Amino acid sequence: MLDLITATSMGVRITPLTRQPVGIDNMYIMQSTSAESNVLNVSASLGLNTRVLTAFVKGSPISDFIKRDLRRRNIGYDGPDLDAGGPWGFRHQFNIADSGFGVRAPRVWNDRAGEVGRELSAEYFDLDKLFKEEGVRMMHFSGLFAAMSEKTADLCLHLADKAAQSGTKVSFDLNHRASFWEGREKELREAFQKIAAVSDVLIGNEEDYQLALGIEGPKAGGKGIADKMDAFKEMIERARKEYPNVKTFATTLREVKNANEHLWGAILYNDNNWYVAEQRPIQVLDRIGGGDGFVGGLLYGLLREFPAEKALQFAWSTGAMAVTMVEDYATPISEEQVWNVWQGNARVVR
């Protein structure tokens, strides 16, 4: 039985070692990455059975690196090795990002030309075997992958349909990306609405709900975090009527003081109750991946059947943990370590 799976387009991220801007530093660290695999990393680190459905470039040393790195992270993988088609053919995306420092903000540059993951379709996977023979407890979708191409949108719809038929719970992080949606608004809106309709967990901010699903957003006015919470709750009440299958709604609440200090909070709706993780200051080594760390912790908590409040606290903590790491995902060594983050216990462990 698989605990948590996702469909994704794997790539690599390179990051300056010394927090200098890209283009100035000349020493970098490389890691395998994708928003969706980063979500799986919490569960994989804590012993759950996880897998990515993805594509690789045949014969590519970057593909070899990604496969080795996924094995290191305890994440299984399945998917085709596609012929590169020459030097101008398929490749894995490169994400080039620095961490910023103080008043200097981080900068991210995505090189996605020829991205092999855009070619993924249902024909590459035995979905009946996956869902009926192996079994899947939860399937996670991200709006980033779903919107990458017509093929990935169609794959996500096939997977959502199979998950619904087999009783697999569905998590959907809306992750609206305007550049992916340009000229495809009608197609993607319909696809996202269909996935949301079979979802058990829906994650996103105000813009995600408005732009990806067409849910009426907050009224103008209000600047404080309390106003944002109230506005989000009102919007979720409207979303609940449109998507009655969803049991859990969540979002993070982040305020950036500088590149090294954020205020970090979150709210969760679950089975007619609201839960709040109040904003607290957190120290930031690298902000990229904090949101994925939150989602990863939330899904782990739900899979472990934590009470809703504890699942939110665990998610807050894995999100806060992710931004302390050079890699853009949280890799907890134990649940105890995560709870120490929530409790503010940073005493040395010997």
Using CA atoms, how far residue 246 sits from 154, 236, 239, 241, 309, in Å, is 21, 11, 9, 10, 17
pLDDT of residue 222: 55
Determine the Cα–Cα distance for residues 271 and 343; give it in Å rounded to an integer.
Answer: 26
Q: Which of 160, 153, 216, 159 is nearest to 190 (CA)?
A: 153
Ramachandran area for residue 46 (φ above 0: left; ψ -120 to 50: alpha; else beta): alpha
pLDDT per residue over 62-120, tens digit each?
999 999 999 999 999 999 999 999 989 999 999 999 999 999 999 999 999 999 999 99
pLDDT of residue 283: 95
Q: Average pLDDT, stretch 130-139?
A: 97
140 and 4 in contact (C-beta within 8 Å)?
A: yes
**To the nearest whole percent, how much of the chain has pLDDT over 90?**
86
Determine the Cα–Cα distance for residues 195 and 159; give it in Å rounded to an integer.
Answer: 9
Q: Average pLDDT, stretch 223-249?
A: 84
Determine the Cα–Cα distance for residues 46 and 279; give it in Å rounded to an integer.
Answer: 26
Determine the Cα–Cα distance for residues 53 and 256; give it in Å rounded to an integer.
Answer: 34
pLDDT per residue over 175-231, tens digit each?
999 999 999 999 999 999 999 999 999 999 888 999 999 998 766 555 666 667 778
pLDDT of residue 226: 62
pLDDT per residue over 217-231, tens digit each?
766 555 666 667 778
pLDDT of residue 234: 87
Q: Is 227 helix (H, G, I), strand (E, B) or coil?
A: helix
pLDDT of residue 227: 66
Q: Is the pTM of this model over 0.75?
A: yes
Helix 185-197 with 150-166: angle, nearest 10 deg = 10
Mean pLDDT of the chain: 94
Determine the Cα–Cα distance for residues 306 and 288; give it in Å rounded to an integer.
Answer: 26
Using the CB atoms, write b or e for 79-109: b if 16+ within 10 Å: bbebebeeeeebbbbbbbbbbbeeeeebeee
Question: Which residues are 273's β-sheet partners?
Answer: 270
301 and 267 in contact (C-beta within 8 Å)?
A: no
Alpha helices by DSSP H, listed for 167-289, are 178-181, 185-197, 206-208, 225-242
Q: Average pLDDT, stretch 15-30?
A: 90
**To the nearest whole percent, how much of the chain has pLDDT over 70?**
97
C-alpha angle with apex 84: 110 to 74, nearest 5 degrees? Answer: 65
Determine the Cα–Cα distance for residues 208 and 220; give it in Å rounded to an integer.
Answer: 17
pLDDT per residue over 139-169, tens digit each?
999 999 999 999 999 999 999 999 999 999 9
pLDDT of residue 221: 54
